[in-house]
Amino acid sequence: DMSADIIDGKAFAAKVRGQIAGQVARMKADHGITPGLAVILVGEDPASQVYVRNKGTQTLEVGMHSYEHKLPAETRAEDLYALIDRLNADPAVHGILCQFPVPAHLSETEIVARIDPSKDVDGLHVVNAGLLASGQRAMVSCTPLGCLMLLRDRLGSLSGLNAVVVGRSNLVGKPMAQLLLRDSCTVTIAHSRTKDIAAVCRGADILVAAVGRPRMIPGDWIKPGATVIDVGINRVDAPERGPGKTRLVGDVDFDSAKEVAGAITPVPGGVGPMTIACLLANTLTACCRIHGLPEPD
């Protein structure tokens, strides 16, 4: 059978969380410090509520403190900024994230700019983007960090491999490209204006899809044996499961891709669980840096 290996992100993420739990316990025992993560949710977006709940549960499971701040949709910018200022100054809080999207009267750029870069566990602050781009110690966005861990686990050294990242968002595509470059890949970033994107993808030893279009990438865009990381989370109708039912699919057409790829992440159960594990890793890293302690590797 020539079918691709399925990369089990769920199992890998559980292993990472176990390591973090051990490091948190040691931090408490040796230094009396408990890492704390504050999550801000403005409004009642149902998907965001699920994400925030999962983050809170897993934060507590590894022994960290979780602080949830749920604000009404009509929250004024100045009140949100006052909360961020308080969290920036709070020594019990080592990581701060605001769940996006926020209601339209608020600016995501300004919210991110208000967060202390050393507590910016989503890696979105321009200081962190700049540190990453210039090869310095940064807080790095959780999803690309999770993808990198899966790739290193699968491939060992990434040096010299051709990597194609489809998507150029500040949250996923751009930091993913930076991390692959840091690991000495030859990196191409494709996006909605890319010419002959199929041919570009066919050159990829590593293909990372972060687009947000269900099953956009078919098997015949994939180089035989390539490692495929599917970041996309798209909800589509699933009439085969019953009337009105839906399910999640990635940006890659899994069924045709798995006949060509060497390894591929499923959706769900691939990149998604790694993202939260890396959020916890980032919170622990931020805590170590803030307290001047050695970082876990």
| Dihedral sign, Cα of residue 83, residue 88, residue 94, residue 96 | positive
User: Could you say which of 35, 123, 173, 266 contacts ligand NDP (CB under 6 A)?
Assistant: 173
Taking every pair of C-alpha atoms in the chain, what is the biggest distance, in angstroms? 59
Q: Rounded distance, CA 187 to CA 168, Å?
A: 12
When asked if residue 186 is in the footprint of ligand NDP (CB under 6 A), the reply is no
Percentages helix, strand, coil for the chain (3-state, rounded to 5) are 45, 15, 40
When asked if residue 175 is in the footprint of ligand NDP (CB under 6 A), the reply is no
Nearer to ligand NDP, 83 or 221 (CB): 221
Q: Is residue 111 marked as binding? A: no
When asked if residue 143 is in the footprint of ligand NDP (CB under 6 A), the reply is yes
* Residue 55 appears among annotated catalytic residues: yes
Q: Which of 55, 119, 174, 258 does the annotation list as catalytic?
A: 55
- Token pair of 137 as six digits: 């110690």
According to DSSP, the β-strands at 5-6 and 227-230 are unpaired
Q: Which of 122, 183, 251, 253 does the annotation list as catalytic?
A: 122
Nearer to ligand NDP, 40 or 172 (CB): 172
Q: Please check whether residue 22 is in contact with residue 50, taking contact to mean a CB–CB distance below 8 angstroms.
A: no
When asked if residue 233 is in the footprint of ligand NDP (CB under 6 A), the reply is yes
- Which residue is it, tokens 């180089």? 223
When asked if residue 195 is in the footprint of ligand NDP (CB under 6 A), the reply is no
The amino acid sitting at 88 is: N
Q: Which of 23, 58, 99, 178 does the annotation list as catalytic?
A: 99
* Residue 45 appears among annotated catalytic residues: no
Q: Which stretch binds ligand NDP (CB under 6 A): 11-19, 62-70, 89-97, 207-215?
A: 207-215
* Number of Cα atoms under 13 Å in the Cβ half of residue 294: 5
When asked if residue 168 is in the footprint of ligand NDP (CB under 6 A), the reply is yes
Q: Is residue 250 marked as binding? A: no
Q: Rounded distance, CA 162 to CA 226, Å?
A: 10
- Token pair of 133 as six digits: 């781009």
Q: Please check whether residue 98 is in contact with residue 111, taking contact to mean a CB–CB distance below 8 angstroms.
A: yes
User: Could you say which of 36, 117, 167, 266 contacts ligand NDP (CB under 6 A)?
Assistant: 167
Active site members: 55, 99, 122
Binding-site residues from annotation:
167-169, 233
List contacts with ligand NDP (CB under 6 A).
143, 166-169, 171-173, 190-193, 197, 210-213, 231-234, 271-272, 275
List, as residue ranges, the binding site for NADP(+). 167-169, 233
